[in-house]
Amino acid sequence: MNLLSIKELTKFYQSEKIAVDHVSFNLNKGECLGLVGESGCGKSTLARCLMRIERIDSGSILFENEAIELLDERHLHSYRKKMQIVFQNPSAALNPKLKVKDSLIDPYAQYKKELNLSHFSYTSKDAFIRQLLEAVELPSHLADKYPHELSGGQRQRVTIARAISIEPELIVLDEPTASLDVISQKAVLSLLTELRETLNLSYLFISHDLAAVSQMCQRILVMKDGRLVDQFNTNYLFDNERHPYTKELISIF
């Protein structure tokens, strides 16, 4: 089933600089779709357009067949409940003045009237926070800590817990492990895979690292200078018909 359908999405910064250039793709429910390309090729811009943090200049984004460009504030609020984002830098994503438990409860507090949770259940704030921390394999005593008291890997697990807390349909993961050391990277990637299966999530997994993308994703989109130059099933990564740029990425991993 098709969850997200992007058609000819185009985004300029100023009038000259094209960051995303007529990009089209589909994302199916339950899949982990990879988006790979070197720094500056437009991956984060595309992610911000999907979240409607950034407005697009032309093209369309359909989520469950609804054009998100046309949503008013009220419908945008419901849309954001279905789509969460995890950024590269968890320190910037967490409010340094809030304890972990207060950052974690924020999406639930915003959406509690419209939520119909199937995996998590809310009986009390403490019990809910405990479930979230457990889901991302963090000890429950971290609930009372501040972000600066956690390691980078623990902080990223907190932002992942926050993203899954309202059981969205899709999570956009924008280089979620790029700020972590190699050991935490591996652990966070396998946690993300596990969570996708347990919670029936779909991911758009963005990375400059083709090795990570090919490990995580069933399908891969390759972006260069704002355009999609290649898209294929991960099984065909080493096929001879891959785009020269994909082959270049393969040669450096």
Choice between 40 and 96, CB closer to ligand ADP: 40
**Binder of residue 15, out of Mg ion, ligand ADP, none (CB less than 5 to 8 A by kind):** none
The residues of the shown chain that bind ligand ADP, judged by CB under 6 A, are: 13, 19, 37, 39-45
CB nearer Mg ion, residue 3 or residue 47: 47
| HSE of 208, CA atoms in CB hemisphere, 13 A | 10
Residues 6+ apart with CB under 8 A from 5: 26, 27, 60, 61, 62, 65
Binding partner of 13, given Mg ion, ligand ADP, none, CB within 5-8 angstroms per partner class = ligand ADP
Shortest separation between residue 215's beta carbon and Mg ion, angstroms: 19
**For Mg ion, the closer CB: 43 or 155:** 43
The residue nearest Mg ion at its CB is: 44
For residue 50, the minimal CB distance to Mg ion (Å) is: 13
For residue 6, which phi and psi values (nearest 5 degrees)? Answer: -105, 130
Give 242's DSSP letter.
Answer: S
Min dist CB 46 to ligand ADP, Å, is 7
196 within 8 A of 28, measured Cβ to Cβ? no
Choose among 182, 179, 11, 209: nearest CA to 93: 179
Phi, psi of 234, rounded to the nearest 5 degrees: -55, -30
In the complex, the smallest distance separating the C-beta of residue 11 from ligand ADP, rounded to whole angstroms, is 8
- Nearer Cβ to ligand ADP, position 130 or 243? 243
